[in-house]
Amino acid sequence: MKKLLILLFSIFFLFSGTKVFAAQGVDCQNIKFPNLSTLGFKFEKETFYDDNRLGVSRSYELSKGHITFYSFDNGYDFINQDILDSTLASGVRDIYGIYKLPKMSNYQLQDDAQYLNMGKFNEFGMQEFINQGVFMTAIGDVSTGVGTTLEIITIGTDGKCMYKVRSSTFIPLVQKNNLKKFIQDFEYALIDFYRGFIAINDISSRTSNLVLSADFQRGLEAAQRGDFATALRELEPLAEQGDSVAQYSLGFMYANGLGVPQDYKTAVKWYTLAAEQGNDIAQLNLGLSYALGKGVIQDRFYAYMWLNISDPNEEGDGSKARDMLAKEMTAADISKAQNLARECVAKNYKGC
């Protein structure tokens, strides 16, 4: 179980960190992309995800690879350094997953993952857009003339949305010793991209995808400023009146000690109230609380139940965490947990 908990902590941010970058409600699909044709980028496709909290992505083809930009907020009420770190870690694990696919059997992902040097990005004032990054390489079957693939992922935020970049670049055998140059090329291309992005996007005018009361808006704005005492004063009455988003937000604040003493039991209380109203983010956090034993007695059955309920479409963080948890459970355990989930849904999430 210990291994599972470490994996869960590395993917999902629950109970640490205080630096807040962003608040819920911004439409991360409502962005403009700069013209990259002069940099040798050939447009491939743009994807608007059905869940607008997952945002939009745009992919380009390069002479020696591909690069994709993502804009999203993943449904987080607050984005801070820990969330950026966990999102980056999740992206790195996705790369490892890709190289386990049969179609990648001719490639061997190397055990050489390293953090990108942020010095160049900081020099150009891009330390938030490019908050952190990781690169690694994969070696192909040299007998077929295949060289090295350079995999890079970065994560950052403009204070409204998260921005992820995934780059995959082919390095021919004759240039296998020029890895540093390929990394530098990526760095300058990314800096040029964000320069253009900043120039054409008026971040302050982003439209909200939520209809918020004036009190709730003041609470979120206060939290974004780091004024959690005001956030608590604005959000607590709304939570007590049954606003599920305010309830989840209070749970988050108590879990992290933001403006209040850290109190996991109180966090679980607010998560539960929001989860019973169908708030999927609260259901996810409640499931993780049970998995980790934070504020409640550790219980894999209820953890599985809430994680399963939180992600009915099998496409988000809830199903990922549930599947990790399932690796530590027997078939009989899973069957029992699934029955609990079905019963809970039938009761409209009440008294589960």
Which tens digit of pLDDT belongs to each residue from 228-273? 788 888 888 888 988 888 888 888 888 878 788 889 999 999 999 9
**Interatomic CA distance for residues 272 and 275, integer angstroms:** 5
pLDDT at 4: 36
Per mean pLDDT, which range of 47-61, 215-229, 294-308 is the poorest?
215-229
Would residue 7 count as lying in a domain? no
Q: Is residue 254 a part of any domain in this protein? A: yes
In single-letter form, the type of residue at position 33 comes to F
d(CA 53, CA 280): 12
Kindly state whether residue 73 falls inside one of the protein's structural domains: yes
pLDDT at 280 (0 to 100): 83
The answer on 171 and 277 residing in a single domain is no
The residue range of the domain holding 311 is 214-346
**What's the whole-model pTM score?**
0.56
Question: By three-state DSSP, how is residue 150 classified?
Answer: strand
pLDDT at residue 215 above 50?
Answer: yes
The proportion of the chain whose per-residue pLDDT surpasses 70, expressed as a percent, equals 81
Given 183, 205, 227, which residue is the final one in a domain? 205
Confidence band of 17 (pLDDT split at 50, 70, 90): very low
One domain, residues 138 and 199: yes
Domain endpoint, select from 205, 232, 259: 205
How does pLDDT run across 263-314, given as a tens digit for each residue? Answer: 999 999 999 999 998 888 889 889 989 988 889 999 999 999 999 998 877 7
Residue 19 in any domain: the answer is no
Residue 210 CB neighbours (<10 A): 12
Per the structure, the count of domains in the chain is 2
From residue 288, alpha-carbon distances to 2, 85, 192, 261, 305 in Å are: 14, 18, 39, 21, 10
The domain boundary residue, chosen from 166, 183, 205: 205
Does the pLDDT of residue 200 top 90, yes or no?
no
Pair (134, 91) in one structural domain: yes
In this structure, what CATH number is given to the domain that contains residue 131? 3.40.1000
Helix axes 280-292, 300-310, angle to 10 degrees: 160
For residue 138, the cross-strand partners are 109, 149
> Strand 42-48 to strand 108-109: parallel, antiparallel, or no bridges (unpaired)?
unpaired
Asked, for residue 231, whether it belongs to a domain, the answer is yes
Same domain for 126 and 234, yes or no, is no
Do 258 and 319 fall within a single domain? yes
* Residue labelled with tokens 């988003």: 245
Question: Which CATH number is 271's domain given?
Answer: 1.25.40.10
